[in-house]
Structures are given as structure tokens and as C-alpha cells.
């Protein structure tokens, strides 16, 4: 079977295909944010956060993509309000081809703080926190 997981993930990110994002996330997916320790659980909150992040990032690009069976590490760069950031998406898939664990790490601190402010603002508006 052709492995089109990376291709489908790119479609989510670069074509902002939010219906596909929903399909790719397992119902019990865990989202580990770059800002806080405690993961968020479930497809709805994870889809919401990821779609928000996709909107916040400007000039998003992947630079290196490591694939090892069900585990991907995707190195990216982007801008937030014009500030440069780098990051990594760690994506673990289940055997049914859905994402069960999504973890993001980012540098440097000032970009991360800006991200945190923007995410908190959006989550409050949406009634999640």
C-alpha cells in the first residue's frame, strides 16, 4: 500500500484542508503544545488548535522530514507577526493511519511567548478556557 500520510499532512498544512485534518486525527489524539506541559485530549480540541496555529503562522515551510515507520519528525520555519521561529512537529500514527500523538516544540523563547499569547486569546474567544 502506498504511504501517502506525509502527502496528506502537507495538504492539511499548505491547502488548509480542515476536513482532511479531521479525518487524519484519531478520536483520542493527544496534543502536546510547545507552551504548556499538560496535553490536550481529543479530536475536536486538537483540530481547533492546529487550525488556529495554521492561521497564526506566516511563511510556513518544512525543511527536513524524518520518517520512521509510524513516527514523523518534521522541522519547520515560520513567522509570527513577522518574528522568525523554528520548530519541529513530532507526529505518531496508529496502525489505522490516524494521528494518535501530536507534539510541537519551538524556538526561540520570544516567538514561543508570542505564540502563547495568541493561542490563549483565541482559546478564550472560542470558550475552550
Q: Does 103 bind its own copies (CB under 8 A)?
A: yes
Cα–Cα distance for residue pair 123/109, rounded to 1 Å: 21
User: Burial, 25: exposed, middle or buried (Cβ in 10 Å; 0-12, 13-18, 19+)?
Assistant: buried
Q: Does 36 bind its own copies (CB under 8 A)?
A: yes
Give CA angle at 27 (72, 47), nearest 5°: 70
**Would you list the DSSP string of 43-99?**
HHHHHHHHHHHHHH-EEEEEEEEEEETTEEEEEEEEEETTEEEEEEEEEEE-TTS-E
* Span near its own copies by CB under 8 A; candidates 7-15, 47-55, 85-93, 121-129: 85-93
Q: According to CB under 8 A, which one of 12, 24, 34, 91 is a site residue for its own copies?
A: 34
Q: According to CB under 8 A, which one of 75, 77, 97, 100 is a site residue for its own copies?
A: 75
Q: Does 86 bind its own copies (CB under 8 A)?
A: yes
* Span near its own copies by CB under 8 A; candidates 10-18, 19-27, 67-75, 119-127: 67-75
Interface residues toward its own copies, by CB under 8 A: 32-37, 64, 66-68, 71, 73, 75, 84, 86-88, 90, 103-113, 116
Amino acid at each position: 500500500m502506498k504511504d501517502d500520510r506525509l502527502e496528506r499532512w502537507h495538504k492539511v498544512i499548505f491547502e488548509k484542508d480542515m476536513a482532511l485534518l479531521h479525518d487524519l486525527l484519531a478520536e483520542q489524539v493527544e496534543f502536546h503544545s510547545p507552551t504548556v506541559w499538560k496535553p490536550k485530549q481529543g479530536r475536536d480540541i486538537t483540530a481547533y488548535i492546529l487550525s488556529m496555529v495554521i492561521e497564526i503562522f506566516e511563511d510556513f515551510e518544512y525543511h527536513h522530514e524524518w520518517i520512521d515507520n509510524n513516527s514523523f519528525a518534521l522541522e519547520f520555519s515560520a513567522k509570527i507577526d513577522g518574528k522568525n521561529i523554528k520548530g519541529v512537529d513530532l507526529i505518531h500514527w496508529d496502525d489505522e493511519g490516524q494521528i494518535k500523538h501530536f507534539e510541537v516544540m519551538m524556538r526561540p523563547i520570544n516567538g514561543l511567548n508570542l505564540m502563547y499569547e495568541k493561542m490563549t486569546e483565541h482559546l478564550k474567544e472560542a470558550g475552550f478556557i
